[in-house]
Amino acid sequence: MKSRLRDKFWYDLTWVVLASAGLALALSYRCWALAGVAAFLLAWHGVWLCKLYVAGREKLRLMVDAVDNEDYAFRFPTQRGDLYAKAINAALNRILQILSAAKLSARQREIFYEHVLQSVKTGVLVLDANERVVQSNREAARLLGLERPRQLADLSKADENLAKVIRGLTPGSKQTVSFQNERGKVELSIRLSVVDMPQGALRILALNDIESELDEREIDAWIRLTRVLTHEIMNSVTPIVSLGNTLLDRCPESETGMRQGLETICTTGKGLISFVSSYRKFTHLPVPEPALFYVKGFLMRMMELARHQDLNPSTRMELNVDPEDLLLYADERLVSQVVVNLLKNAQQAIGTERQDGLVSLSAYVDEQEAVVIEVSNNGPVIPADLAEEIFMPFFTTKREGTGIGLAVSRQLMRLSGGSITLRSEPGRTTFTLRFM
């Protein structure tokens, strides 16, 4: 078809040239009959070429309008009209198909890159020259505690100095910032890159949560240290207790002072062994076996268990789960250890004499589709300096505490792929369990 169309075009163009030459020659010799025939042929083929030009220009305009409106389904008819019209329509349709395929491919790549962006564990913010946020991902929203920042100035809602720090960054530089939000303490590493685009330079901010990395390294260090300490202490104390018991069995009843001393050694040694054994919980935690379970029924069982252990009968307990059929994929046995420990701590914080004590349990799904369980009480506020160390092993404010409960809770949450944070303010102290 293309060959026949090309031959037809050159055929008509040749006739136009020949007719023009014949008309000029006939006029020069005053041969009016020949001039009339040449004029007729020139008009006939000239009009046909003009019609082709006008029709082609109109079709090209329609195609450009369709592309401009992203109407790639638009097609020209190829079953009617003359040979030239069919060929032109087929060629334009082919162009539309190529543009449509290119558009679809670009859209698929865009969806792929967007999926990759939303899947990475690094927060990403892209700013234009006017400090507008033109691109961001869920991790950035989670780290900043902001659902959808639109301007760089919006980051001041997370921390008043954050926008100032970002403005001071140079390409390739990195800065560490710390602030508090509803997730607790956040420590971010921010790196800046600059990309030149046709619409202007874009600043790309990469946000990494180094707080969790530091926590993991800190926990690993504590685990190694605790294993060494428990091993050495057990190896040293166990023979002492064994020898003490042997000497106590052989000591005459008449040696009252000697027997009392040996009994003190044995009792103290056994107490030390029991104390050290409690720290083995921190270093020998079971492997999680996650499964789906209903959060409301689970929390109701935890509250019922806590009521039987409550030292203050006047303490009220509240439960709020939204939605009612909220499901959690985790190891229920491990999560129960964490919740029971937090409920026990909440009851102890309120004390035995307070008449308006309140312990509340709530569960919901946050903006990042993570299941959140909160355990709150209206006991005394926890000072900021203590709040920073409260999850450390061996740290306790209780007279008879071992300093292992919250450390184990944090480790259990880490094994469950979640986190535990503390937020304490006058009238309300909240421990938040977040399951990703």
pLDDT: is 191 or 231 the higher one? 191
Q: Same domain for 206 and 221?
A: no
pLDDT reported for residue 353: 75
pLDDT: is 10 or 372 the higher one? 372
Q: Which of 2-16, 123-137, 407-421 has the lowest mean pLDDT?
A: 2-16
Expressed as residue numbers, the domain containing 382 is 291-435
Band of residue 321 on the pLDDT scale cut at 50, 70, 90: very high
Q: Same domain for 304 and 431?
A: yes
Q: Same domain for 296 and 430?
A: yes
Rounded to an integer, the average pLDDT of 400-414 is 73
pLDDT reported for residue 371: 92
pLDDT reported for residue 376: 93
Rounded to an integer, the average pLDDT of 316-342 is 90
Q: Same domain for 132 and 92?
A: no
Band of residue 293 on the pLDDT scale cut at 50, 70, 90: very high
pLDDT at 401 over 60: no
pLDDT reported for residue 393: 66
Phi (first) and psi of residue 170, to 5 degrees: -110, 155
Dihedral angle sign, alpha carbons of residues 408, 411, 417, 423: positive
Burial grade of 345 (CB within 10 A; 0-12, 13-18, 19 or more): buried
Which of 150, 175, 210 is at the close of a domain? 210
Give the pairing type, strands 184-197 and 174-181: antiparallel
Q: Same domain for 313 and 353?
A: yes
Give the tens place of pLDDT for each residue, 23-79: 676 666 666 666 666 666 666 666 666 666 666 677 777 777 777 777 767 777 777
Band of residue 1 on the pLDDT scale cut at 50, 70, 90: very low
- Which residues are paired to 377 by β-bridges? 359, 429
Q: Which of 48-52, 118-122, 314-318, 322-326 has the lowest mean pLDDT?
A: 48-52
Distances in Å between the alpha carbon of 419 and those of 175, 292, 336, 431? 24, 18, 15, 10
Report H helices in 327-425: 332-350, 384-387, 405-415
Band of residue 386 on the pLDDT scale cut at 50, 70, 90: confident
DSSP state of 82: -
pLDDT at 231 over 60: no
* One-letter identity of residue 330: A
The two counts, helices (H) then strands (E), for the chain are 11, 12
pLDDT: is 373 or 25 the higher one? 373
Kindly provide the b/e burial profile for residues 320-336, where b requires at least 16 CB atoms within 10 angstroms of the residue's own CB. ebeeeebebebbbebbb
pLDDT reported for residue 399: 59
- CA–CA gap between residue 272 and residue 278 (Å, rounded): 10
pLDDT reported for residue 10: 61
Q: Same domain for 193 and 232?
A: no
Q: Which of 51-65, 175-189, 272-286, 370-384 has the lowest mean pLDDT?
A: 272-286
pLDDT: is 350 or 8 the higher one? 350
Q: Same domain for 430 and 302?
A: yes
Q: Same domain for 125 and 233?
A: no
The count of residues in the chain is: 436
Give the tens place of pLDDT for each residue, 158-193: 777 888 888 888 888 888 787 766 556 677 888 888
Distances in Å between the alpha carbon of 42 and those of 34, 36, 83, 253, 403? 12, 10, 21, 142, 105
For the chain, the average pLDDT equals: 77
Q: Omega into 323 within 30° of 0, i.e. cis?
A: yes
Q: Same domain for 300 and 429?
A: yes
Band of residue 279 on the pLDDT scale cut at 50, 70, 90: low
User: How many of the other CB atoms lie within 10 Å of CB of 14?
Assistant: 11
Write out the two tokens for 25: 């020659």
pLDDT reported for residue 144: 81
Report H helices in 69-196: 83-119, 138-144, 162-167
State the total domains in the chain: 4
Q: Same domain for 85 and 143?
A: no
pLDDT reported for residue 13: 61
Which of 148, 181, 210 is at the close of a domain? 210
Q: Same domain for 17 and 104?
A: yes
Q: Same domain for 397 and 309?
A: yes
Give the tens place of pLDDT for each residue, 218-227: 666 666 656 6
* pTM of this prediction exceeds 0.75: no
Q: Please name the residue that has the structure tokens 């619409």.
A: 199
Which of 163, 178, 210 is at the close of a domain? 210
pLDDT reported for residue 241: 73
Band of residue 372 on the pLDDT scale cut at 50, 70, 90: very high
